[in-house]
Amino acid sequence: VKRLTIPQLMAYKGQKKIASLTSYSAPFARLLDTHLDMILIGDSTAMVGYALPDTLSFTTDQIAAHVAAVVRSTRRACILADMPFGSYQGSLEQAFTNAAKMLSAGAAGVKLEGGAALAPVTQYLVERGVPVMAHVGLMPQYVNVMGGFKAQGMSEEAAERVFQDALAHERAGAFGLLLEGTAEGLARRITEAVSIPTIGIGASPHCDGQVLVTEDILGLSGGGIPRFAKQFGDVAAVIDQAVADYARSVRDGSFPTLDHCFGVKK
C-alpha cells in the first residue's frame, strides 16, 4: 500500500470527493486509515482530547507528538498537521521552523488558519518544501477577535472578504483550502473559482471534500455536536457497555480467572 500524496489528492478535484476526518491517537488512526483519503491532526485535539476550552494553548510539540503517533499507525491516508496558534503568525522563519517539525514528525503537509494577510506565510512555506492547506472562513484561533465561534461570510461584504482570502492563498501556492463555517453559497463560489480542492466543514455539499471531528461522528464528544456535524455511530454506548461489564466482573469475582494467570498447572 502506498500512501496517498498531496499531488494525488489535488488530482481528485472534479473527479472524486476527498473524505477526511481528524485523529490524534493510534487506535483511531488505525481504524480510520483504510477508509479515508486524508487524516488531519487538528488543533481541535486541544478541546476533544485535552478538554481545553479552546485551541489557543496547544503547542507545536504537542501536535507533532500526535502526528508521529498517527503516522506510525497508518499506511494509506495522507497525513496533515495543524499549525497551532502562535506557531506561525510571528514571522516567516518561525512558521518554517515549526512547520518543519510537523514534516519531521511524518506529516505530508500542514494546515494554517488565516486570511489574505497570512498568504505570505503560505508562499514562504511552499517555496521551502512544506505543502500548505489554508483554513479560511471560521477560524477557531481567532475566537477572541470574533467574540465566539460564529459562521462567517453571512453578509455580502464579509463573503467577499473570505472569497479574497481564499484566492490569496491559492495564488500563494496552497495545495488546498479548508472552508469552515461559511455561508453555503460562498463555499460553492470558492470551490468553483479555484483550481485546488476545497475541504468543507459546515460549508457546502459542493466542496471537493469533507472533514469532521471524529469524536463528533462517533458520539464521543460528550455533549451536543455542532449543527454542521452528524453522528454516524454510537461508540460511546459500546464503550460504556464494555467498561460496565468489566467493572462488574472485577467486583463479582468473575474476572480474572485462573485462565488469565501465569504458572497455573493445567
* 3-class state of residue 177 by DSSP: strand
| Selected binder of ligand KIV within 82, 165, 170, 215 (CB under 6 A) | 82
Burial code (b: 16+ CB inside 10 Å, e: under 16) for 186-222 equals bbbbbbeebebbbbbbbbbeebbbbbbbbbbbbbbbe
- The one among 22, 60, 152, 198 contacting ligand KIV by CB under 6 A: 22
Q: Which stretch binds ligand KIV (CB under 6 A): 38-46, 91-99, 125-133, 163-171?
A: 38-46
The DSSP 8-state label assigned to residue 117 in this structure reads: G
Query: Is there a binding annotation on residue 113?
Result: yes
Site for ligand KIV contains 208 (CB under 6 A): no
The answer to whether the CB of 160 falls within 8 A of the CB of 116 is no
Q: 136 by DSSP, 3-state: which?
A: strand
How far does Cα 41 stand from its chain's mean position? 5
Cis peptide before 256 (omega within 30 of 0): yes
Segment near Na ion (CB under 5 A); pick from 36-44, 71-79, 197-205, 257-265: 36-44
Asked whether position 42 contacts ligand KIV by CB under 6 A, the answer is yes
**Helix, coil or strand: residue 21:** strand
Interacting residue with Na ion among 82, 170, 208, 215 (CB under 5 A):
82
> Annotated catalytic, 180?
yes
Which span sits near ligand KIV by CB under 6 A: 39-47, 58-66, 120-128, 216-224? 39-47
Contact between 181 and Na ion (CB under 5 A)? no
For residue 172 the three cell numbers come to 500563494
Q: Is the distance from CB of 109 to CB of 132 less than 8 angstroms?
A: yes
43 binds Na ion (CB under 5 A): yes
Residue 82 marked ligand-binding: yes
Tell me if 111 is assigned to a ligand binding site: yes
Size of the site for Na ion (CB under 5 A): 3
Given 127, 180, 184, 215, the catalytic residue: 180
Name residues whose C-beta falls within 8 Å of residue 214's C-beta, 6 or more positions apart in sequence.
21, 22, 23, 28, 32, 220
Kindly state whether residue 137 participates in binding Na ion, applying the rule CB under 5 A: no
| List of residues contacting Na ion (CB under 5 A) | 42-43, 82
| List of residues contacting ligand KIV (CB under 6 A) | 22, 40, 42-44, 82, 178, 180, 201, 211, 213
Residues carrying an active site annotation? 180
Annotated binding site for 3-methyl-2-oxobutanoate: 43-44, 82, 111
